[in-house]
Amino acid sequence: MDNQHMFELTIPQVVDLAAERFGGSVAVVDGDVRLSFEDVRGLSVRLAKHLLKLGIRKGDRVAVQLPNSWHYPILHFALTRIGAILTPLNLAYRQQELRYMLKHNEVKMVAVVASWHGVNHLALVQEVLAEVETVRHVVVLGEVPVSEQAIRLESLLREEADGVSDAQLAVQAPALDDPFAILFTSGTQSDPKATVHTYRTFVPVHLYQAREYRFSADDVLLTLGSFNHMFSIPMMFSALHTGIRHIMLTAFSPAAFLEVAAAEGVTVGLGVPAQWLDILRVAKDQGVQQALRLVVTGGSKIPPHMVHNLRAQFGCMVAAQWGMTEVCAGAYTRPDDPPEKSWETIGRACPEGEMKVLNVLSEEAERGEVGELAFRGPSLFCEYYKNEAATASAFTKDGFFLTGDLGWMDEPGFVHFVGRAKDTINRGGLKIYALEIEDMLLEHPAIRQVAIVRMLDERLGERACAFVELTEGSSLTLEQMTEFLTSKGIAKYKLPERLEIRNGLPMTASGKVQKAKLMAELDAS
């Protein structure tokens, strides 16, 4: 098979090939549960047959709201085996989001955890089902009250599905151009849109990525982010394809990561910057010297001090990754790139992908000139589901997707991320890029998370406000914050003129701050 087509596989094909190649080796670890590659294939086939008995067929939409337990990849692979279309749901979603997403995608089955961190997710789903006529089944991970009309996922996994043959299963097998998933965008600034990906647009780009990161059967992977998000979904099948042992961490905490990483010999970790900053603080306090090969991070700007500290604390390489629901892993740094590229840039375009920067005239910008990032390649989504107008307006005439991100490209082709186009504050005609200020403030020892957002001003139009989550036991005043920024040498007009301290900032599933909520709070005050 030539290089162009070597990764053109559906997910069931990835699962089957992995079972053939790696057999009884351990594929998934979740506490005391250890599943081989053959186990993963067998359990996913068993569950797929149960789903067929329930009437789920190729093309049906299935929503999944589960934590990162071993059950998630098994269900994920079972759905792909019958050609069902995945709609992952963040565990933070409540009635409003569930109602909208289930109705919009015309979901036929929902798989949900019974309860999670004190929240009764089964009750939340049942509450909105009266308004979602398409849902026929609710499958639950965990205990189900006798009064509930729901099916236990554990029961389906324990027993074979009588009366369903391999031939019946094979009929449902998806082709490369069949829809794989309908994923909702992060929606940090506006309502999320539903993006349609096929196996062809979703699988090859991430198998290429695994090769670029030099994944091998010698690696042990731990994914910190939720499998309900684009950043982590590909890791389930990429790990199988390369023979990696994939460790489940059901609930993230820095201490839990460090404990499991030491016990299992984790070599590759995937998570957003906020998680790695928390891990570094605990590792430093405890004197932990866990050895890692590679840390993959993205979703928000990567502070330079975080990269330095990761390399010093864990002896690892750090790969920066930029992506969107619409483009998958669009750009990233590679292990051989100079270390500074992981904080100065978001890397270079993925294999088979192209990136360019467009100026205000929608023409390709000069190298070094800031403009809107545009992406073209086989990993681009097919359409926004039920939104033809948004699909049409999202592309240039020559097929480049307009990302809404700002950046510039250097001579070697590395892309320097500046921020979201909507994340620019216009203070009396002077532009403030929020990301520039956030990067600096993340170096302050008292600051764990920060978001710079616009606040309306009658005279200047907009001013900058800093929403800050502090590290434990810390305090901060507006004067202290502005003095810190001034010491960095920034222009006075860029200084935030209001400080709001919060116990936590509203986040998306990908670890991005939901700035729309913060701006609405300011507008209402």
Q: Give pLDDT tens digits for 501-521.
A: 999 898 775 667 888 889 888
From 170, 191, 212, give the residue that closes a domain: 191
**pLDDT score of 203:** 97
pLDDT: which is higher, 431 or 204: 204
The predicted structure's pLDDT at residue 511: 67
Beta strands in 37-80 (DSSP E): 61-65
Question: Can you give the pLDDT at residue 334?
Answer: 94
Q: Residue 124's domain is classified under what CATH number? A: 3.40.50.980
The C-alpha atoms of residue 432 and residue 412 are separated, in whole angstroms, by: 27
Asked if residue 165 and residue 65 are part of one domain, the reply reads: yes
Are residues 47 and 66 in contact, defined by beta-carbon separation less than 8 angstroms? no
**For 413-417, what is the mean pLDDT?**
94
Contact between 342 and 320 under an 8 Å Cβ cutoff? The reply is yes
Q: Are residues 453 and 370 part of one domain? A: no
If one counts every other C-beta atom within 10 angstroms of the C-beta of residue 91, the result is 17
Domain-terminating residue out of 369, 403, 420: 420
Least confident of 102-111, 171-180, 268-277: 268-277
Question: Which pLDDT score is estimated for 191?
Answer: 65
Claim: this prediction has a pTM higher than 0.75: yes
Looking at every residue in the chain, the average pLDDT score rounds to 92
- Percentage of the chain beyond pLDDT 90 is 74
In a domain, 10, yes or no: no
| Mean pLDDT for the stretch of residues 98-117 | 95
State the pLDDT at residue 2. Answer: 43
The reported pLDDT for the residue numbered 189 is 44
Within a domain: residue 24? no
**What's the pLDDT score for residue 354?**
96
**H helices, E strands: number in the chain:** 17, 26
Looking at the structure, tell me whether residues 398 and 323 fall in a common domain.
yes
33 beta partners: 30
- Most distant pair of Cα atoms in the chain: their distance: 73
Mean pLDDT (whole number) for 277-292: 88
Give domain status of residue 225, yes or no. Answer: no
Q: Find the CATH number of the domain harbouring 304.
A: 3.40.50.12780
Q: Given 376, 396, 420, which residue is the final one in a domain?
A: 420
Residue 274 within any structural domain of the chain:
yes
**Same domain for 307 and 404?**
yes
In a domain, residue 318? The reply is yes
Same domain, 458 and 329: no
Predicted confidence at residue 188, as pLDDT, reads 45
pLDDT of residue 373: 96
For residues 173 and 256, state if they share a domain: no
pLDDT, one tens digit per residue, over 73-104 is 999 999 999 999 999 999 988 898 899 999 99
If asked whether residues 416 and 447 sit together in one domain, one would say no
Query: For the chain, what's the residue count?
Result: 525
Counting the structural domains of the chain, the total is 3
Q: How far is CA 403 from CA 3, 185, 356, in A?
A: 28, 12, 11
Same domain as 450, residue 357: no
The whole-angstrom separation of Cα 224 and Cα 253 is 9
Beta bridge partners of residue 141, listed in sequence order: 113
41-55, 85-99, 294-308, 451-465: least confident range = 294-308
Q: In terms of residue numbers, what domain contains 462? A: 428-524
pLDDT tens digit sequence for 116-131: 999 999 999 999 998 9
Residue 438 falls within a domain, yes or no?
Answer: yes
Rg of the chain on CA atoms, in Å:
23
CA nearest to 494, candidates 435, 419, 450? 435
Residues 413 and 344 in one domain: yes
CA 109, CA 55: separation in Å to the nearest integer? Answer: 10
In the beta sheet, which residues pair with residue 223? 270
Task: State the pLDDT at residue 297.
Answer: 93
pLDDT over 70 percentage in the chain: 97
In a domain, 141, yes or no: yes
C-alpha 88/C-alpha 65 separation (Å) is 6
pLDDT at 77: 98
Q: Are residues 445 and 299 in the same domain?
A: no
Are the C-beta atoms of 201 and 380 separated by less than 8 Å? yes
In this structure, the answer to whether residues 442 and 414 fall within a common structural domain is no
What's the pLDDT at 454?
92
Angstrom distance (rounded) from CA 198 to CA 321: 22
**What is the structure's pLDDT at 509?**
59
Residue 380, token pair as written in the block = 């681009």
Banded model confidence at residue 253, pLDDT cuts 50, 70, 90: very high
The predicted-structure confidence for 443-492, as pLDDT tens digits, reads as follows: 898 998 899 999 998 888 899 999 999 988 899 999 999 999 999 989 89
Q: At what angle do helices 233-242 and 11-22 cross, to 10 degrees?
A: 40
Per-residue b/e over 245-257, b at no fewer than 16 CB within 10 Å?
Answer: bbbbbeebebeeb
The answer to whether the beta carbons of residues 212 and 250 sit under 8 Å apart is no
Burial of 37 (0-12, 13-18, 19+ CB in 10 A): buried
Tell me the average pLDDT across 42-55: 97
Q: In this structure, is residue 5 part of a structural domain?
A: no
Residues 400 and 315 in one domain: yes
The listed range with the strongest mean pLDDT (30-39, 360-369, 500-509) is 30-39
